[in-house]
Structure 1
Amino acid sequence: MHDFFLNLDRHLFYLINHEWGNAVFDVVMPVMRNARFWIPFYVFLIIFIIWRYKKHGAILIVFLALSAGFADYTSASIIKPAVQRLRPCRDPITANTDISRAPCGTGYSFPSTHATDHFAMAVFLSCLFYKYGKWIAPALLIWAAVICYAQVYVGVHFPIDVTIGALYGSLVGWLFSLAFRKTVHGFSV
Structure 2
Amino acid sequence: MYRDIVDFAMTTPGWLHTLAEVGTDAGLFLFVALFAVAAFRAWRGPARDLALVIAGPAGVVFAYVVSEVLKTIVREDRPCRGGITTLVTCPPTDDWSFPSNHSVIAAGAAATLVLAWRALAWAVLPLAAVMAFSRVFVGVHYPHDVVAGFLIGLTLAPLFALLVVGAVTPAVRLARTRLSPRRAGL
What TM-score bracket applies, with the shorter chain setting the length? 0.7 to 0.9
Distance 1:40 1:161 in 2: 22
Corresponding residue SS for 1:172: helix
Give 3-state SS (helix, strand or coil) of 1:110's partner.
coil
The share of aligned pairs that are identical, in percent, is: 27
Unaligned residue ranges in structure 2 (runs of 5+): 171-186
Ranges of 4+ aligned residues in structure 1 off by more than 6 Å: none
Q: Distance in 2 between matches of 1:167 and 1:39?
A: 17
CA shift, 1:177, in A, is: 4.2
- CA deviation string 1:127-177 (max 9, x = no partner): 3322xx3xx213111111111111011111000000011011111133134
CA apart distance, 1:126 = 1.7
Q: Distance in 2 between matches of 1:103 and 1:16?
A: 16
Query: Residue in 1 aligned with 2:183?
Result: none
Q: How do residues 97-108 of structure 1 correspond to structure 2 at under 5 angstroms? A: 98-106=84-92, 107-108=95-96
Q: Given the alignment of the two structures, is residue 52 of structure 1 paired with residue 41 of structure 2, yes or no? A: yes
Point out the structure with the larger helix share.
2
Instruction: Look up the match of 1:4.
Output: none
**What's 1:85 paired with?**
76
C-alpha contact 1:122 1:173 (8 A) present in aligned 2: no
Count of residue pairs the alignment pairs up: 162
Closer, same or farther: CA 19–42 of 1 in aligned 2, 3 Å:
closer
- Is residue 2:103 matched to residue 1:118? no
Q: CA deviation at 1:32?
A: 1.3
Q: Deviations over 1:38-77 (max 9, x none)?
A: 354134223312221117465334311211111111112x
- TM-score w.r.t. length of structure 2: 0.77
**Which one-letter code corresponds to 1:154 in the other structure?**
V
| Greater C-alpha radius of gyration | 2
| Aligned-partner Cα distance in 2 for 1:39–1:144 | 9
CA distance 1:138–1:154, shift in 2 (3 Å) = same
The CA deviation string for residues 66-115 of structure 1, in whole angstroms up to 9 with x for no partner, is 11111111112x1001001000112xxxx22x232222123100000110
Write the mapping of 1:1-189 to structure 2, written as runs, cut at 5 A.
Answer: 12-20=1-9, 21-23=11-13, 24-34=15-25, 37-54=26-43, 56=47, 58-76=50-68, 78-90=69-81, 95-96=82-83, 98-106=84-92, 107-130=95-118, 133=119, 136-179=120-163, 182-183=166-167, 184=169
Cα RMSD after superposing both structures: 2.2
